[in-house]
């Protein structure tokens, strides 16, 4: 027997990312987001959803770029902070102790402590209800050598966080490789 619900957040897991942006005056900002996914076919397009008229969205419209930083579980507190506090009046880099690092191709800075940083240029935006679906074009991906094994990310060493129903989770062990049903 299944119970029926209206629209509810049953999508799990949703990876937690830190979106770093910069205003046209040069003030850096970080926001936490969980509503994000790969889009398109070749890993170059990434979709994020930013609600309302948040500073991060306005920054993206101004500079036409942003960085997707993927934190590990060690950055839980900082990630929560960046999602609980609007950046209008505060400097989230200095308040969290996170370090802004110059990007290679875009103006928005990377978050140094995150092992993965994806420099994105703004491709398109779509209004979805009161949120903005933003498609970024990944132009440069930085991955810490410490989490790489033969050119692939070793998710036993890098532990991203996931989020659903106002709760943070870590991920479990590997279950198998894609295609296992074909054998």
Ligand X SMILES: Cc1cc2nc3c(=O)[nH]c(=O)nc-3n(C[C@H](O)[C@H](O)[C@H](O)COP(=O)(O)O)c2cc1C
Task: Please tell me whether residue 171 adopts helix, strand or coil conformation.
Answer: coil
Length of the chain: 183
User: Closest approach of Cβ 50 to ligand X, in Å?
Assistant: 4
Of 11, 4, 30, whose CA–CA distance to 114 is shortest?
A: 30
Among 18, 34, 67, 110, binds ligand X (CB under 6 A): 34
Query: Can you read off the two tokens belonging to residue 16?
Result: 């937690």
CA 74 to CA 129: how far, in whole Å? 34
User: Closest approach of Cβ 90 to ligand X, in Å?
Assistant: 8
The contact pattern for ligand X, residues 59-98, with x = CB under 6 A and - = no contact, is: ---------------------x--xxxxx-----------
User: Closest approach of Cβ 73 to ligand X, in Å?
Assistant: 13
Among 33, 70, 98, 138, binds ligand X (CB under 6 A): 33
Which of the stretches 29-37, 70-78, 102-110, 139-147 binds ligand X when contact is defined by CB under 6 A? 29-37
Q: Please report where in the chains the tokens 């970024």 appear, as a residue.
A: 136
Query: Can you read off the two tokens belonging to residue 137?
Result: 């074009």
Write the burial class of residue 122 (CB in 10 Å: 0-12 exposed, 13-18 middle, 19+ buried). middle
If one asks whether residue 51 binds ligand X (CB under 6 A), the answer comes out as: yes
User: Closest approach of Cβ 142 to ligand X, in Å?
Assistant: 22
Among 55, 61, 101, 133, binds ligand X (CB under 6 A): 55
Bridge-based pairing of strands 45-51 and 131-143 is antiparallel
Q: Are 159 and 168 in contact (CB under 8 A)?
A: no
For binding to ligand X (CB under 6 A), which residues are involved? 16, 29, 31-35, 49-51, 54-56, 80, 83-87, 163
């Amino acid at each position: 027997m299944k119970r029926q619900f209206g629209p509810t957040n049953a999508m799990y897991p949703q990876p937690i990312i830190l979106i770093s942006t910069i205003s046209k005056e040069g003030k850096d900002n970080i926001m936490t987001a969980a509503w994000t996914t790969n889009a398109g076919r070749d890993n170059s397009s990434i979709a994020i959803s930013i609600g309302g008229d948040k500073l991060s969205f306005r920054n993206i419209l101004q500079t036409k770029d942003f960085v997707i930083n993927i934190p590990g579980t060690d950055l839980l507190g900082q990630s929560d902070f960046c999602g609980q506090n609007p950046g209008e009046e505060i400097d989230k880099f200095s308040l969290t102790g996170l370090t802004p690092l110059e990007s290679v191709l875009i103006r928005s800075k990377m978050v140094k402590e995150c092992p993965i940083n994806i420099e994105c240029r703004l491709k398109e935006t779509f209004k979805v209800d009161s949120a903005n679906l933003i498609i970024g074009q990944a132009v440069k991906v930085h991955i810490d050598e410490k989490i790489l094994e033969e050119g692939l990310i070793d998710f036993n060493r890098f532990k991203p966080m996931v989020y659903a129903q106002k709760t943070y989770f870590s991920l479990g062990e590997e279950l198998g490789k894609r295609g296992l049903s074909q054998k």
